[in-house]
Amino acid sequence: MRHSVHTALAAVASLLLVAPAAQAQQVVGESGSWRVESFGVSCAAWLTGPNSEPGSGNMVRIDLDGDQWSMVSDFPLTGDVTTTLLVDGRAFQATFERHSDAASALIRPELVRALRSARRLNLNFDPTGPRYALQGTAGAFDLLEGCARQAASAAAPAPVAAGVDWVPQSGGSIPQNAPAAGRDTNGQPLFLCLAEHNGGQHPGKIRPGFHGCDFGYGGREITAHAYSVMVGQGRWVPATGGQVPPNALRSGQEADGSALFACRIGYRGSLQLGKIRPGFDGCNFSYGGREFTGSSYEVLVP
């Protein structure tokens, strides 16, 4: 059974994110130890910690999608964990969900307020931390909120499509001219792919570090080692509740020949890629080994 999620794309859903990966990420500004960046439909503040060993919890990131705040760390967790974060010694609970190379948690407004004026942060994943010295957090969060407001108010229509094609690939390879269509929890761009499975062709996602095209099927996340990757540009238009725009770009099919369409959806500080067709309750996408369905999303059109 697919898992239902509440998402917060709302007004920001109309902003296009199909520029090449090098253009999808823009620096908004810096404040103290933070760097704030825009990823088209969402914004992120990056903090680099004192740890020097790769994978030892070097990175902390605060994401803001609409009004939803989340925290991301690259600390090597072995599974999901509920921890007591320490902000200048004050305790705040957060549940981190483990992913392949990152962990993320939704954070509440009281934790956001505490972080604004904090000097020290301890994620408390183990007896030694990881711990971080904070500088300029209030300014960084102001930049972050300004970035989110600008994304939400962007009303300019997306560029006219330049045409879309699908390029055969395998083993994790991605064409150099493929446009980024989403963003993973760790900030890396996601690219739209198409994979054959059980007589059908299913839209999914791929990025550097993946071994193939990941897509949702039967409640699970499946990886196909042979697949095609989208090149060219289309437009992403907002939809809700299982709706499919009449001009949606066909991007695959079920085993019975029913058309599938590519969709993307905000989830835990990321912008995931998936599939939809008439009869679905929303955008079906894979994440962390499972398949989810979200009711507020965007659909690819020519």
Tokens representing 244 are: 């499919």
Backbone conformation region of residue 211, classed left if phi is above 0, alpha if psi is from -120 to 50, else beta: alpha
Give residue 78's pLDDT. 84
Give residue 283's pLDDT. 96
Give residue 270's pLDDT. 87
Question: Residue 146: what are its φ and ψ, rounded to 5°?
Answer: -65, -40
Q: Tell which of 120, 137, 153 closes a domain.
A: 153
Q: Please compute the mean of the pLDDT values over residues 239-266 and round it to a whole number.
A: 92
Does residue 220 share a domain with residue 138?
Answer: no
Residue at 20 is within a domain: no
Give residue 39's pLDDT. 66
Does residue 262 share a domain with residue 174?
Answer: yes
State the pLDDT confidence band at 85, using cuts at 50, 70 and 90. very high
Does residue 190 share a domain with residue 217?
Answer: yes
Q: Tell which of 91, 126, 153 closes a domain.
A: 153
Does residue 215 share a domain with residue 132?
Answer: no
Does residue 142 share a domain with residue 226?
Answer: no
More confident residue, 103 or 161: 103
Average pLDDT over the chain reads: 82
Q: Please compute the mean of the pLDDT values over residues 55-59 and round it to a whole number.
A: 59
Does residue 175 share a domain with residue 66?
Answer: no
State the pLDDT confidence band at 3, using cuts at 50, 70 and 90. very low
Q: Tell which of 102, 121, 153 closes a domain.
A: 153
Checking if the pLDDT of 54 tops 80, the result is no
Query: How many of the other CB atoms lie within 10 Å of CB of 45?
Result: 27
Contacts of 272 (CB under 8 A, 6+ apart): 182, 184, 190, 205, 264, 265, 266, 285, 286, 287
Q: What is the pLDDT of residues 124-145, one digit of tens each?
A: 888 778 888 899 999 999 998 8
Judge contact between 8 and 151, C-beta under 8 A: no
Q: Rounded to whole angstroms, how far apart are CA atoms 275 and 299? A: 9
Residue at 170 is within a domain: yes
Residue at 19 is within a domain: no
Checking if the pLDDT of 274 tops 90, the result is yes
Give residue 40's pLDDT. 56
Give residue 284's pLDDT. 96
Q: Please compute the mean of the pLDDT values over residues 57-64 and round it to a whole number.
A: 80
Give residue 9's pLDDT. 29
Q: Which residues does residue 29 pair with via DSSP β-bridges, in sequence order?
A: 36
Does residue 162 share a domain with residue 297?
Answer: yes
Q: Please compute the mean of the pLDDT values over residues 82-106 and round it to a whole number.
A: 87
Q: Domain containing 37 — which CATH number?
A: 2.60.40.1880
State the pLDDT confidence band at 49, using cuts at 50, 70 and 90. low
Q: Rounded to whole angstroms, how far apart are CA atoms 129 and 295? A: 37
Does residue 200 share a domain with residue 134?
Answer: no
Residue at 211 is within a domain: yes
Does residue 185 share a domain with residue 98?
Answer: no
Range in 31-35, 168-172, 266-270 with the lowest mean pLDDT? 266-270
State the pLDDT confidence band at 11, using cuts at 50, 70 and 90. very low
Does residue 162 share a domain with residue 295?
Answer: yes
Does residue 131 share a domain with residue 173?
Answer: no
Domain that includes residue 253, residue range: 3-14+158-301
Q: Alpha carbon of 302 to those of 79, 152, 158, 237: distances in Å? A: 40, 23, 11, 10
pTM of the complete model: 0.60
Q: Alpha carbon of 295 to those of 6, 11, 12, 201, 240: distances in Å? A: 7, 14, 15, 22, 5
Residue at 176 is within a domain: yes
Residue at 219 is within a domain: yes
Specify the number of domains making up the chain.
Answer: 2
Does residue 267 share a domain with residue 162?
Answer: yes
Give residue 13's pLDDT. 26
Residue at 271 is within a domain: yes
